[in-house]
Structure 1
Amino acid sequence: MSKQKDQFIALLGELFQLNQPELDFGLYRILHARSAQIKTFIDTELGSEIDAHFAGQSQSNAHDALEAARVKVAETLGEDAFLPTGELKPEYRGTKVGKELELAQQHARDGGGVLADDAQVYEHLYRFFSRYYDKGDFMSKRYFVAENDSRAAPYAVPYDGREVMLHWANKDQYYIKSSEALSNFTFELTAAQAKELGPQSGFDFLPPATTPLKVHFRLAAAAEGEHNNVKEGQERFFIIHAAEPLKLETNDKGLPELVVQFDYRPDSTKSGQAGTWQQKRLAEAEQVVGEQLANLVFKHPELRSFEQPLFAPAPTDKQPNRTLLAKYLGKFIAPHTMDYFIHKNLGGFLRRELDFYIKNEIIRLDDIEADDAPRVDEYLKKLRVLRKIARRIIAFLAQLEDFQKKLWLKKKFVIDTQYFIPLALVPERLHSEVFENPAQQADWKKHKLSGSSEKKTGQILSAPEFIKQNPGLIVDTSLFNSDFKQKAIAQIPNLDDETNGILLNSDNFQGLSLIKRHFQDKINSIFIDPPYNTGKNDFPYKDNYQHSSWMSMMQDRCNLAKDLLSPKGLFSVQIGDEETANVRCVFDSIFAERKNSIIVRRGIKNVQAQFDDIDRLSLGHDTIHTYSKCSGLRLPHLKQTLDEEKPGKWDTFWRGTDRKTMRYELLGITPETGQWRWEINRALRAVKAYDEYLQNESARKTLDEYYIENLQAGVDLDFVKLSDEGVAQYYVPPQAARLVSDNWLDIAASGNITDFQHEKSLPMLQRLISWSSDKNDWTLDYFAGSGSTGHAALSMPDSRRFILIEMGEHFEKVLTPRIKNAIYQKSLEAPKESKIVKIQRLESFEDTLNNLQLPDTPRLNSSTPESSEMTRDYMLKYWLEFETTGSPSLLRMV
């Protein structure tokens, strides 16, 4: 086997995700289950076809062609055309036969041309596919010309002719990375040990056919599929779960499986470098697993088969005593740097690039012009073989990518739904059950209700008495069984109308997809505070693609959110200096109109104060960019209440602007230049109104009192008079508020109600929400963080309804308790206004992959020769879709 073929086989193993057969989770598990069929397909479709086409051919063809060219030169020019060294004399090199000889010599040096043998076909296949693949992702880099020693490879940007076009490296891809930490890692111990013994040759990606020994690493503190939030910057460590580090599970075939449980949390005992400390914690974990496994084996002898391979040697130069367990612990805790993207149309992209590659980097016009017809025909046949094989590989890769795209885009299932329900809406027949629930009683005490379940005499209050003393009580259905929850919500006639808030524990892309149908064009205010992408672990990005990863993440989610925004709604995004320019570029390309870029105050860290000079000024502001989906949207004035009301005053009615139609006689004056402030009819009414005030009310009321009295009656009066100096003046009413500009440095952007690192201030959020929405309108935040937006919406005097989407573990620890506390505050202040809040948890993309199932045997019988064409089409296009039909994550809802 040629070096080029070996190289390409290794690449195929990576492309088809078969290079790690011991991994047994997600798509790895599905592909490994059919690795025998994939191996047969590759051998048949790739190896056999190329080998058959090049059978019997050798590099002697090139030397035969060279000898024929020499003979032709001698016949045409004579033997004296050659130097004693055998080379053609310089004066004959420009002749037709001289050029043919030179080309034949080049072919012989190259081994017979660009496609002389199968090694060069494999070389071109490797070069083509490897240039687009990078650690689990296909990058949309459109190559324009080949790279050489003197020129870096430039790329072609697709351009559609518009005046200005925005493009970035990952524009054609969905960003799917919510975290760099896996919550569920599974490997097959037998296959892992076999891999450690040495690599398999050829296309053999199969593990040994023995009883599988599966080992799972799981996060005990988080449910399956949960990830840490992309905005959370606190340093955390994988620490063996103290309460139950090891446990035994049995699969559906009755075979034992070992589960090693971890917590992923900050470590208060940490000292020294983070990496060194994590390795110390892993060494402790390995020791605990050994001790616990020995105890489990005593109770469950069937686990004895795990002991020897789990602690088998897996040394490296730097870690000569490393065990197999330590090796896979290292894989589990390492940042998961693959699979950041899913291509939106991988097949179309690679097919276009393949044709361009063949035309630009393989075909040589000199070959076609110089060779005779049979050689050209043979050359084109080889090109067709290469193109056919490459297109079949593309079809297979597109099937894998399109299947993942289908899983990513499918509506995710709601795994759990709970409610915060005002007790006033719970049927009275359930009140005693509520009152007798100790978990609910503890929750009320936790939120410091003013009432007590005991009288001052020490006697226990009855349920009706307690409820009467605490009219703002909230029932948390998560503290009850499902039967109670169903009975409680069944009696609420208009559940949607009574729902004031929705909390979604989900990736924001999936959360937005779920609510799109119900809330399309219905949300008046959207505010987001996405990761600032500072490069300090606030956003996971692919190496060398920090900003393009972030832009892809923002674009797709913004497109979904735009569909939810009402025609009169306002979309606001707060961002720091690192990505503010890219926000403008992405959002300008999506929305019809940018309204404002508002400056807000942020906390300043003067970390450079210790130095004599600095490289730049400390950053003291963030920017809130606001957008509308419809051009020409008019917004109400945004006003700020003043500490003291300013009294009314008189100001000159003349303006320096020059409109001749606004020069008319008023109070005996006609301006020669400039103009009056208002058109004539309004000005005359204002003169008359002031005369009426002087005649009828001036003795009893000040002008300010008279103006306010009329304003409260719904009449907004204007006044114009002639001053003692003979100048026309108009009345400026009393001001209880001032108009707000795009300078919001009067309020801080950061809040301090929770310990959450990126909390936003309630006054700032309330100003934004009140500007773009009215009472009971919906507001949305799909980077909800600690829940500040929901808290702000609840605590406004004329409260709004809200939707918060967040996937971090602090959804349970910070966001949900904060919203519950805000509900209690609101319900205690105004019990009759208390409404329902719904809390839902969606399956994650990781859950969807892990819930895929395959039948034990392939559904297509490919053993007969007549089925070869059907088998090829099936493997290229349909097998993944067909064989996963019926998986729990792919149930079709009717």
Structure 2
Amino acid sequence: MIDTDPKMAKHQEERLKRHKQQLKQKLTELFQIDSPDLDFGLYRIMNQKRDEITRFMDKDLVEAVDEKFGECDEETRTQITGELKELEQTIRNTYGDDALDAAGLKEEYRKAARGRELHEKWQQLHRDAEEASVSDLQKAEIFAHLEEFFSRYYKDGDFLSLRRYAANEKYAVPYNGEEVLLHWANKDQYYIKTDRFLKSHGFDVGTYRVLFEVVQVEGQSNGNGTGRYFVLAGDDAVTYDDEKHLLTARFAQVPLSDDDLLRRFPPGSGRQKPNQDDIVGGLVAEILRGDGIPKGLVDALQTNERDTDRNPRLYKHVMSFTRENTSDFFIHKDLGRFLGQELDFYIKNEVFRLDDLGTENEVAVERYVKRAKVLKSIAHRIIDFLAQLEDFQKTLWEKKKFVLRTGYCMTIDHVPKEFYPEILANEGQLAEWRNLYGIGEAKGGQKTLAGDRVDKAFLQSRPYLVIDTALFDGDFTDRLLEKLQHPDGTPVEDLDEAVGGLMIKSENWQALNLLQERYREQVKCIYIDPPYNTGNDEFLYRDNFQHSSWLSLISDRLYCSKPLLLSEGSIFTSIDDNEFANYRRISDHIFGIENFISTIIWQKV
């Protein structure tokens, strides 16, 4: 066997340690356990599983690598040992029992071609046996491959194929021979920011109130920065209202170049560029420098909100506010399948390097079989873990949501007269009529209203006046629905049939999903007015994925809309130049290019 150089062994040991640490850092990102103070979405779940995930990264993963190498080593060594015994028996049968020594076939037998051939084969088998033994170098290569593979598909809470620039760094696009294939970076993911839209954020600190507001600033979408970041908006971004005990910080999301980012948020020790901690820390420091903030509030903002928090109160809320608005844009529809396919492609091209076959860089493929087996086995353990978490999020997203509140709007001619006194006594309903129609106002109100009074005679004379059950209690609504009548006075037997329209306040994909069974193939016309994705509207998108984020949003909602349309139904869409081309492609794909009718163009003024 070949002796190991101590210096080389030390180098391999250090390399193994370095790659283990790099993989652990990447998995900490993937499993989203690096932000214990965040308390929304998946972060809340991951904080509960922190110990389990940490054990997997620190112990189970390393042991699994050793175990898999051991399995492959045992299998390979068994095969090599068998071949070596066979070869040595052949040598003894040919040259005698004393033909072998520690270096192989004795020198006097190597002069003939047959002897040299047997000696070289004996030496090769011994080298193969050495190669089959697990080494720190081989382990380091596995950890390096794992870190490299998963780095290609994850950023800030989302699994997606990150941009590659080198000629030999490629992705595999699923293609089954279609004439035209429409593909984008996050095609197989749900866009889930439709209920967010840069919301404000507020929290209480004793008798004080702290409010983070999002404001638009001039040129917000026209910068030349490489990424968009939250900054405090102007010199008066932080104000304190002593009367209301209200501290307000106004944020804007703006594009910043790398140089701008460095100037605003100097990186911490040992870092070339600022990370999330540097940015949040800079924002916190700016807020605390605001004029007129009471010392008691400043002190409270710099203490922990809960004993289990890692960071002070203000830091925690700034981190949560910025993270929730800038990360976790997507949920993958089948993360396990996606990463599994990409892993196979990675192994073929990065481990076996099939492109090198037939070139001067070609090496024996057998050399890579063992590490490929170990890499695939360990990677699938990580993939399975990640897929469980992502599938849980997907299940929550796809689950039909509970209806929180239902109200009915109906004209007076559907309401029995016995309910008139309660209607007339409802100040909320009367106020709504005044606001909408001016009913009951002495000046500028209904000219036909005698004495500016809303009474029983008034209700009887206006059969099409609308009442809103949201302004009444549940008991009134239940009794009214039980006794609801048609304009001719006959009772309503089927409430669904009597309802002439439906208005839903909801996240739009969830609402469309809820309507699938009840309204399948019943809708004559659909009109949509989606975000134009100008960069300065309320549509949130991940940096460098503006158009693909929008395509994921639109495609899922169009797919949900199609089953609702009658076969002769129509869909109209208001769109501008920013996404017109992409929208035309996706609508042609979903509804069929042969069903396109026309584009109606109007002049901007």
| TM bracket (short chain) | 0.5 to 0.7
Say if 1:286 and 1:540 are closer, same or farther in 2 by CA, change over 3 A.
farther
Q: Secondary structure at the match of 2:568?
A: strand
Say if 1:177 and 1:370 are closer, same or farther in 2 by CA, change over 3 A.
closer
Q: Secondary structure at the match of 2:464?
A: coil
Say if 1:524 and 1:412 are closer, same or farther in 2 by CA, change over 3 A.
same
Q: 1:408 deviation in Å?
A: 1.1
Aligned to 2:322: 334
Aligned to 2:50: 35
Say if 1:455 and 1:24 are closer, same or farther in 2 by CA, change over 3 A.
closer
Q: Does 1:163 align with 2:152?
A: no
The residue correspondences of 1:743-758 to structure 2 (distance < 5 A) are: none
The residue correspondences of 1:479-558 to structure 2 (distance < 5 A) are: 479-492=471-484, 493=492, 494-558=494-558
Q: What does the per-residue CA deviation read over 1:805-846, in whole Å, with 9 as the maximum and x for residues that have no partner?
A: xxxxxxxxxxxxxxxxxxxxxxxxxxxxxxxxxxxxxxxxxx
Say if 1:220 and 1:533 are closer, same or farther in 2 by CA, change over 3 A.
closer
Say if 1:263 and 1:399 are closer, same or farther in 2 by CA, change over 3 A.
same
The residue correspondences of 1:815-834 to structure 2 (distance < 5 A) are: none
Aligned to 2:226: none
Q: 8 Å contact 1:555–1:586 — kept in the other structure? A: yes
CA distance in 1 between partners of 2:427 and 2:238 (Å) = 33
Determine which of 348, 354, 372 is the counterpart of 2:337.
Answer: 348
Say if 1:380 and 1:156 are closer, same or farther in 2 by CA, change over 3 A.
closer
- TM-align CA RMSD: 5.0
Q: 8 Å contact 1:532–1:575 — kept in the other structure? A: yes
Q: What does the per-residue CA deviation read over 1:139-164, in whole Å, with 9 as the maximum and x for residues that have no partner?
A: 14698xxx76xx36233322211222
The residue correspondences of 1:292-331 to structure 2 (distance < 5 A) are: 308-309=303-304, 324-331=312-319
Aligned to 1:181: 198
Q: Does 1:425 align with 2:414?
A: yes
Q: 1:113 deviation in Å?
A: 11
Q: Secondary structure at the match of 1:506?
A: coil
Q: 8 Å contact 1:533–1:578 — kept in the other structure? A: yes
Q: 8 Å contact 2:23–2:146 — kept in the other structure? A: yes
Q: Secondary structure at the match of 1:505?
A: coil
Q: What does the per-residue CA deviation read over 1:837-878, in whole Å, with 9 as the maximum and x for residues that have no partner?
A: xxxxxxxxxxxxxxxxxxxxxxxxxxxxxxxxxxxxxxxxxx
Aligned to 1:598: 599
Q: 1:582 deviation in Å?
A: 1.1
Q: Does 1:564 align with 2:581?
A: no
Aligned to 2:188: 172
Aligned to 1:89: none
Q: Secondary structure at the match of 2:304?
A: helix
Aligned to 2:158: 137
Opposite residue 443 of structure 1, the aligned amino acid is E
Q: Secondary structure at the match of 2:595?
A: strand
Q: Secondary structure at the match of 1:501?
A: coil
CA distance in 1 between partners of 2:563 and 2:462 (Å) = 41
Say if 1:337 and 1:289 are closer, same or farther in 2 by CA, change over 3 A.
farther
Say if 1:174 and 1:307 are closer, same or farther in 2 by CA, change over 3 A.
closer
Q: Does 1:358 align with 2:375?
A: no
CA distance in 2 between partners of 1:594 and 1:265 (Å) = 45
The TM-score with structure 2 as length reference comes to 0.66
The residue correspondences of 1:11-26 to structure 2 (distance < 5 A) are: 11-26=26-41
Opposite residue 519 of structure 2, the aligned amino acid is F
Q: 1:587 deviation in Å?
A: 0.9
CA distance in 1 between partners of 2:458 and 2:603 (Å) = 45
Q: 8 Å contact 2:304–2:312 — kept in the other structure? A: yes
Q: 8 Å contact 1:526–1:571 — kept in the other structure? A: yes
Q: 8 Å contact 1:114–1:362 — kept in the other structure? A: no
Aligned to 2:584: 584
CA distance in 2 between partners of 1:385 and 1:220 (Å) = 50
The residue correspondences of 1:667-706 to structure 2 (distance < 5 A) are: none
Opposite residue 123 of structure 1, the aligned amino acid is A
Q: 8 Å contact 1:532–1:538 — kept in the other structure? A: no
Q: 1:570 deviation in Å?
A: 0.8
CA distance in 2 between partners of 1:331 and 1:159 (Å) = 41
CA distance in 2 between partners of 1:529 and 1:457 (Å) = 39
Opposite residue 418 of structure 1, the aligned amino acid is G
CA distance in 2 between partners of 1:489 and 1:262 (Å) = 46
Aligned to 1:635: none
Aligned to 1:383: 372
Opposite residue 304 of structure 2, the aligned amino acid is P
Opposite residue 158 of structure 1, the aligned amino acid is P
Say if 1:6 and 1:460 are closer, same or farther in 2 by CA, change over 3 A.
same
Say if 1:435 and 1:160 are closer, same or farther in 2 by CA, change over 3 A.
same
CA distance in 2 between partners of 1:549 and 1:361 (Å) = 29
Q: 8 Å contact 2:19–2:143 — kept in the other structure? A: yes
Q: Structure 1 unaligned segments of length 5 or more: list them.
A: 58-70, 79-95, 190-212, 222-234, 247-259, 267-274, 295-303, 315-322, 605-894
Q: 1:44 deviation in Å?
A: 4.3
Q: Secondary structure at the match of 2:170?
A: coil
CA distance in 2 between partners of 1:285 and 1:490 (Å) = 59
Say if 1:216 and 1:115 are closer, same or farther in 2 by CA, change over 3 A.
farther
Opposite residue 459 of structure 2, the aligned amino acid is I
Aligned to 2:19: 4
Aligned to 2:113: none
The TM-score with structure 1 as length reference comes to 0.46
Opposite residue 180 of structure 2, the aligned amino acid is V
The number of residue pairs the alignment matches comes to 480
Structure richer in helix, relative to its length: 2
Opposite residue 8 of structure 1, the aligned amino acid is L
Say if 1:160 and 1:219 are closer, same or farther in 2 by CA, change over 3 A.
same
Q: What does the per-residue CA deviation read over 1:311-350, in whole Å, with 9 as the maximum and x for residues that have no partner?
A: 99x9xxxxxxxx9344334324437221111111110111
Q: 1:406 deviation in Å?
A: 1.0
Structure richer in strand, relative to its length: 1
Larger Rg, first or second structure (1 or 2):
1
CA distance in 1 between partners of 2:163 and 2:556 (Å) = 21
Q: Secondary structure at the match of 2:535?
A: coil
CA distance in 1 between partners of 2:415 and 2:251 (Å) = 38
Say if 1:165 and 1:391 are closer, same or farther in 2 by CA, change over 3 A.
same
Opposite residue 174 of structure 1, the aligned amino acid is Y
Say if 1:75 and 1:128 are closer, same or farther in 2 by CA, change over 3 A.
farther
CA distance in 2 between partners of 1:473 and 1:16 (Å) = 56
Aligned to 1:209: none
Q: 8 Å contact 2:201–2:213 — kept in the other structure? A: no
Aligned to 1:724: none
Q: 8 Å contact 1:181–1:333 — kept in the other structure? A: no
Aligned to 2:464: 472
Say if 1:544 and 1:475 are closer, same or farther in 2 by CA, change over 3 A.
same
Aligned to 2:260: none
Say if 1:332 and 1:346 are closer, same or farther in 2 by CA, change over 3 A.
closer
Aligned to 1:118: 139
Aligned to 2:62: 47
Identity %: 36
Q: 1:393 deviation in Å?
A: 0.5
Q: What does the per-residue CA deviation read over 1:619-678, in whole Å, with 9 as the maximum and x for residues that have no partner?
A: xxxxxxxxxxxxxxxxxxxxxxxxxxxxxxxxxxxxxxxxxxxxxxxxxxxxxxxxxxxx
CA distance in 2 between partners of 1:2 and 1:447 (Å) = 71
Q: 1:407 deviation in Å?
A: 1.1
Q: 1:461 deviation in Å?
A: 5.0
CA distance in 1 between partners of 2:469 and 2:286 (Å) = 38
Q: Secondary structure at the match of 2:47?
A: helix
Q: 1:173 deviation in Å?
A: 1.3
Q: What does the per-residue CA deviation read over 1:428-470, in whole Å, with 9 as the maximum and x for residues that have no partner?
A: 2221111112222221111234566999999785732232354
Q: 1:498 deviation in Å?
A: 3.1
Q: Structure 2 unaligned segments of length 5 or more: list them.
A: 1-15, 73-102, 111-118, 215-230, 253-263, 266-282, 485-491
Q: What does the per-residue CA deviation read over 1:586-626, in whole Å, with 9 as the maximum and x for residues that have no partner?
A: 1111113333222332333xxxxxxxxxxxxxxxxxxxxxx
Q: 8 Å contact 2:27–2:57 — kept in the other structure? A: no
Say if 1:287 and 1:523 are closer, same or farther in 2 by CA, change over 3 A.
farther
Q: 1:519 deviation in Å?
A: 0.8
Aligned to 1:850: none
